[in-house]
Amino acid sequence: MAEAPAPLSRARRIPPAPDRRALAVIGGANVFIGILLVIQMWLLSASLETFLSGHDEGAVPGAIVSGLLFAGCLLLGRFMDRAERTAGG
């Protein structure tokens, strides 16, 4: 007796491979996040150095710029998620 054919719907549920363009977009977003993160690390170390040397004037701009960099990272992260969803991954 011949076996019943496999259900095609099951195979269709496996998401298709994302296109190379989506991968490039996500990789590019990762690179930008990495650059912002390096700047933020430098900013944190500079703020700490300023604080430990007894100066107060660097704390407020340091926190503001760090917040902006974090917002940039967050936006890039959301952009990456959207690119992934668009790619169907």
Partner 1 sequence: MKRESRSLPVWREDVPFRAAEERLVMRRQFGKFMVLTSLGMFLGNLWILLKTWRRRAQRPLSPVISVAGVGELAVGDVKIFSYPTANDPCLLVRLGPGDWVAYSQKCTHLSCAVVYERATGRLACPCHHGYFAAATGAVLQGPPPRPLPRVRLEARGAEIVAVGMEGEEHG
Least distance between partner 1 and beta carbon 38 (Å): 10
Q: Under 8 Å CB-to-CB from 57, ≥6 apart: which residues? A: 50
Give the total of residues touching partner 1 (CB under 8 A).
Answer: 49
Among 1, 21, 33, 86, binds partner 1 (CB under 8 A): 33
HSE of 30 in the Cβ direction (CA atoms, 13 Å)? 7
CB 89 within 8 A of CB 19: no
Among 17, 21, 82, 86, binds partner 1 (CB under 8 A): 17
Q: Does 55 bind partner 1 (CB under 8 A)?
A: yes
